[in-house]
Amino acid sequence: MRVRDLLAPQSIELKGAPANKKEAIEQMVALMEKRGNIRDIDTYRAGVFAREEEGTTGVGEGIAIPHCKSDAVSAPGLAAMVVPEGVDYQALDDEPVDLIFLIAAPNTKDNVHLEVLSNLSMLLMDEDFTRDLKAAKSPEEFLDVIERAENAKAQKEAARESDREKTPDGQAGGTSSDKGYVIAVTACPTGIAHTYMAAEAIEKAGEKLGIPVKVETRGSSGPKNILTAEDIKRAAGVVIACDAKVPMDRFDGKHLIECKVADGIHKAEELVTRASVSDAPIYHASGDAGEEEEEKETDSIGHQAYTHLMSGVSHMLPFVIGGGIMVALAFLIDTIAGYGASAGSAFGTMLPLSAFFKYAGGLAMGMMVPVLAGYIAYSIADRPGLAVGFTGGLLATSGNALFASYHWTNLGAFNDFIAHFAFQGANGGSTVSGFLGGIAAGFVAGFVVLWLKKLTSRLPASLDGIRPTLIYPLGGIFIISLLMCFIFNPLIGLINAGLSSMLTALADANLLVVMGLILGGMMAIDMGGPINKAAYVFGTGMLSTAADLMAKGASATDPAVTACYVAMAAVMAGGMVPPIGIALATIFFPGKFSKTQRDTKVSLFVMGASFITEAAIPFAAADPLRTIPATLAGSAIAGGLSALFGCTLMAPHGGIFVFATIGNPLFYIIAWLIGSVATCLLLGLLKKNVEE
């Protein structure tokens, strides 16, 4: 479909002057109404704004292409506006927009708006073309510029196709045979504008440099101009200009350049030149995918899940590092002030300055699970998933404990069920589901929103505007709240109650080494989650028991008192191992970790030494099947050895800052280091190498 055929003189404005983005869209919709292809202008307008809520259509380079596919559209059409002074459109490059095209597409299966978007995007890559559009003196001249550009593009494509037919092996003809053949793939997250802009730029660079080029585009309408096995075999180099996942195993053994899709637009000549002379590292595929993968439009379910998970992990990491080090500074300040051995449970808050660091850092760390869940949901369902995911993450970190303090009376059967099942009382076990609950909440939230989108897709088009602002958040938050409060959190509460009973039985039986082994391992299973917290609460509870025993006349050397302090020592030893073990692994096995992960080793050492187990969460979340067994084993070893050596601890927190309260400190350090080394070695053995 040609762009020129969709425009009419009455739908073109050459001297637009909107004050802001909203006004620009309103004026564009008014122009489209003059085109005569809109059945219900209010519904269409709501659809355009709803699409903009999902992400800006300001594609950069001074261009915006808002669009809407709706039952309110009777026939495809375009409207255009030149804004000589520019308008703040919240574009991807944050630059003012001075050329706007609005697309109206009927709600049919042929996705005509995607075809028009791709054609427009490629035309708009030509600076001469956009300059001529902006310089047009009349709508008729504006249309003539488009018609000339489309005719020239059609002639080039016909010539290119003719060259391909004349060349038996598929090499593009009309180019110098002494220069290498270059292949490329372009893709952007939305699969619309930048995908085709980059492809056009790379093809033009090849023409200018006399280098044969073939570009595969992986846009919203599916892969086009797919690279064949012969193309890949013959290529001197490959350019992957993508901000989205594309099939990569097919390029195994080729010289390959990976870059942002924006580089494909702005640095096309440099990329084509480098690829033509094989000036790039050789790519080694990580999987065993067959040749059929080149035809796939989507990644495997497992890879998609990993991509969603890493979206949450990458956004969570700054909260873990920033907040964790703030808390560690609070402990350091109190230690310097002389409170390391005497502060007890108030350690980290003995001075106003330390209390500030502990408070602010604790709030930041408290955000990590909601952020993890929110951005997993965002990766799955785009912006509408954020609110639902954040809510699920908050419920995972808060649990249902808030309601335990309420004392309702005269309840009916239904309310009695809610009060005694979801809103468990103080003896029902902790209902905090932690980072594992946050991961579950993120995925559930994302798919709940996708389900709501599908469920409401048949609603009248007039409701399109309220779906992302009312239906998705209200329905999604309600559903995720039900699932967290009535399923995930209560189940965790039952598990924690059982764990607490088991630990008490071990302590009563004087099986201290077994107890230390289990306590240490529990600290590393979910690293700040419910199982970790169950172990920690048990340890601090044992400190309280020791205080009660001593208040009744027992001495500090009494076996019952010593057993309490041994439990707390095992808890802290196990909790200090995961960050230290992972930090060591990033040093001794750097190939197992990405550069971003390796760069966090200093903060891992600081937080691990400060007994902040949560520092290991991003690594556990990114690769749970290998990381958690390694940290669990190392922590269990440290906890068991600590108990075996008879190490004791009288403080509930603090890591190295409370070593003055530790009994047998040398052996305690040995237990800690052995556990950390064990985790390091297991990570080196279990984890696969990372391709960067």
Is 420 part of the annotated catalytic residue set? no
CB 271 within 8 A of CB 258: no
Type and span of the H or E element at 502: helix 489-508
CB 166 within 8 A of CB 158: no
Burial environment of residue 688 by CB neighbours within 10 A (0 to 12, 13 to 18, 19 or more): exposed
Query: DSSP secondary-structure letter at 691?
Result: P
CB 605 within 8 A of CB 615: no
At 102, phi and psi to the nearest 5? Answer: -110, 130
What token pair was written down for 633?
């084993």
Residue type, 655: G
Rounded distance, CA 103 to CA 556, Å?
79
Q: Mark out the alpha helices in 60-138 (DSSP H runs).
A: 112-123, 127-135
Taking alpha carbons only, the member of 230, 274, 229 closest to residue 256 is: 274
- How far the first Cα of the chain sits from its last, in Å, is 41
Taking alpha carbons only, the member of 637, 657, 659 closest to residue 648 is: 659
- Among 68, 113, 188, 564, the one annotated catalytic: 188
DSSP 3-state of 649: strand
Please state, in angstroms and as integers, the Cα–Cα distance from residue 80 to each residue in 13, 83, 142, 169, 548, following that order. 6, 10, 9, 43, 79
Is 188 part of the annotated catalytic residue set? yes
User: Rounded to the nearest 5 degrees, what angle is found at the Cα of 636, between the Cα atoms of 633 and 641?
Assistant: 125
Rounded distance, CA 490 to CA 325, Å?
32
- 199 φ/ψ sector (left φ>0, alpha ψ -120 to 50, else beta): alpha
Type and span of the H or E element at 230: helix 229-234
Block residue for tokens 């707390």 = 568
What token pair was written down for 17?
């002057």
DSSP 3-state of 341: coil
| Residue 507 exposure: Cα atoms within 13 Å on the Cβ side | 26
Block residue for tokens 């050459």 = 14
At 428, phi and psi to the nearest 5? Answer: -90, 5
Burial environment of residue 141 by CB neighbours within 10 A (0 to 12, 13 to 18, 19 or more): middle
Residues in the chain: 692
> Hey, which residues are catalytic here?
67, 188
